[in-house]
Amino acid sequence: MSHAMVVDDSRAMRMILSRTVSEMGYEVCAAADGVEALALLREEMSIVLVDWNMPHMNGFEFLKTLRADPRYASVKVMMVTTETEVDQMVKAIAAGADEYVMKPFTKEILADKFRMLGLIQ
């Protein structure tokens, strides 16, 4: 089974994303911020869905930390955030995000992004 991680400080959003990703066939773990996510991160993760705005370590800082570690070079990162400014999207992609989804989103949007990343058929 493929593994995914959901990183968001909102408990409700973690539940929604976890359920959606689980329905796509993934075993999902969740973290409330970037610090907790780094502690849970494993090389076998296929994808991490991460919010931008979180306490302790935000999603952008998490992304930069993840991309600096060659062990996680193959892990896909999808920013799932309320940050809708084009500059923020460009910054995230330049830092190594593979996809960017703006909240609110639908299950179909997430599935389309997973397909584009080659993670589901």
* Predicted pLDDT of residue 121: 82
CATH code assigned at 18 = 3.40.50.2300
- Indicate whether 44 belongs to any domain: yes
Number of domains present in the structure of the chain: 1
- Indicate whether 35 belongs to any domain: yes
Low-confidence ranges of the chain (pLDDT < 70): none
- Indicate whether 94 belongs to any domain: yes
* Predicted pLDDT of residue 1: 74
Domain span at residue 79 reads 2-116
* Predicted pLDDT of residue 88: 93
Cα(47)–Cα(26) distance, integer angstroms = 10
| Cα torsion through 35, 40, 41, 45, rounded to 10 | -140
Cβ-count burial 91-110 (b if 16+ within 10 Å, e if not): bbeeeebbbbbeeeeeeeeb
- Indicate whether 65 belongs to any domain: yes
Tell me the pLDDT of the chain averaged across its residues. 95
- Indicate whether 121 belongs to any domain: no
- Indicate whether 46 belongs to any domain: yes
